[in-house]
Chains A and B, each alone.
Chain A
Amino acid sequence: MAVKPKLTYFNCRGSGEPIRYLLAYGNTEYEDVRFEDEEFPKLKPNFPYGQVPVLEINGKMIPQTLAICRYLAKRNGLYGSDDFEAMQIDAVADAIVDLRNAFTFCYWITPEDQRPAHEEKLKKQTLPFYLSRFEKSLQENNGYFVNGKLSYADIFFAGQVQHFSDNTKYDITDGYPQLKALVEKVENIPQIKAWIEKRPKTDF
């Protein structure tokens, strides 16, 4: 990449953090542009589909979190060794996004007065449904999501998990030792650890 890439996102971890983890992993220098919630309406028209995160590469804005993650994964050896492995990794990332969409619906779309019922369902059904399957994948794959080795799916999960726990107000990996170990493993990758230590501190 000739010019420093520029990531634009809210001033929070949210959907941006997995991308920041991947950029850190690759020791990629980039501009970490953040804006506050109130600024978003004004900035929205600047983005291809009015959404963030966007990663600007050589002057072109690429939207869509997973598209960006996959691009960075390829450049950093985190996308498996063949098309089938790549597909397995993509499927895990998609499932994590499905879980994230459930969170978004519950905590960011549903009006506060209607939230309790949705939160009950999320905590009692949706989360155990997904986490038990993720836990099983890790058990069967030597502590990683796919084929016993680190891929962007592992980093994506570790980059998202704090955001989930911020919403539920408890650590969602409690009771899931493999998931807890994975998060710890990713967070201790030196480049990612260094990023976590220096990143801006935000509530979400």
Chain B
Amino acid sequence: MAPKYKLTYFPIKGLAEPIRFLFSYGGIEFEDFRFSQEDWPKFKPNTPFGQTPILEVDGKVIHQSTTICRYVARQVGLAGADDWEAVQIDAVVDTITDFRSKIQNYFYDSDPVSKEKKKGSLFKETIPFYLPKFEELVKNNGGYFVNGKLTWADVYFVGYLDYLNFMAGVNLLEKYPTLRSLCTTVLELPGIKEWVAKRPVTPN
């Protein structure tokens, strides 16, 4: 019997959206539980490390968004055909995570002076460092991140995009046609397309 899945997260796309995309791609039913910001202090102590998203698999709790994505990717056949493909996917995913972390580090800085300084470095160094590399990687791999075919690295990136754009305050892919094309491809995938049409609408 298929496991019962419950995903718990804030009422946003954020770090959970790639997980929701992957479940939807695979046609796997899951409970998409969202707690309100005010309720977070109540839920926090019940999580393994005070963080979400968490995924319950038949009641067993797992934390760490990327790890959860990898598990769901395996269930839906997007984790690569062998260990070699898998490690290449993992390496791309971790690099996307690095990029996301740097944007988060800027966005969540509560000190306006420090934040302004980080903005400079984000737009002058970080974004121009990562996005051209991603663009080239996808161009050199037949329109996908790894080995010319859809893997969870592609879904992970596109699943994050609204959140990344929200934090950066710009349309990050404006100058990157290959990445924009990948984005379109992923958003048109059966399962994901339906999810995007019916999901709660949130800015981030």
Contact = CB atoms under 8 A, between A and B. Distances in A.
A87 B86 contact: no
Contacts of B27: none
B57 A63 contact: no
Contact of B70 (A57, A68, A75, A87): A87
Contacts of A83: 71, 74-75
Interface stretch (B31-39, B90-98, B190-198): B90-98
A130 interface: yes
Interface stretch (A6-14, A89-97, A179-187): A89-97
Contacts of B84: 57
A91 B83 contact: no
- Residue among A48, A49, A50 with the most chain B CB within 10 A? A49
B148 to A, nearest CB: 15
Contacts of B86: 70-71, 74
B91 A90 contact: no
Contacts of B95: 48-49, 63-64
The binding surface of chain A is classed by DSSP as: helix
Given A87-B70, A91-B67, A75 B87 contact: no
A88 interface: yes
Given A95-B49, A95-B64, A133-B48, A67 B71 contact: no
Contacts, number: 74
Chain B: number of interface residues, binned into ranges: 20 to 34
Interface in A1-21: none
Interface in A56-76: 57, 62-64, 66-68, 70-71, 74-75
A63 B91 contact: yes
Contacts of B87: 62, 67-68, 70-71
Interface string B28-62: 00000000000000000000111000000100101
B22 to A, nearest CB: 13
B67 A94 contact: yes
A166 interface: no
B71 A87 contact: yes
A64 B62 contact: no
B90 A66 contact: yes
B90 A70 contact: yes
Contacts of B93: 67
Contact of A64 (B57, B64, B68, B94): B94
Nearest to A137: B48
Nearest to B61: A91
Contacts of A67: 87, 90-91, 93-94
Interface of B: 48-50, 57, 60, 62-64, 66-68, 70-71, 74-75, 83-84, 86-88, 90-91, 93-95, 98, 129-130, 133
Given A48-B133, A49-B130, A66-B94, 4 more contacts: A87-B70, A94-B67, A95-B48, A129-B49
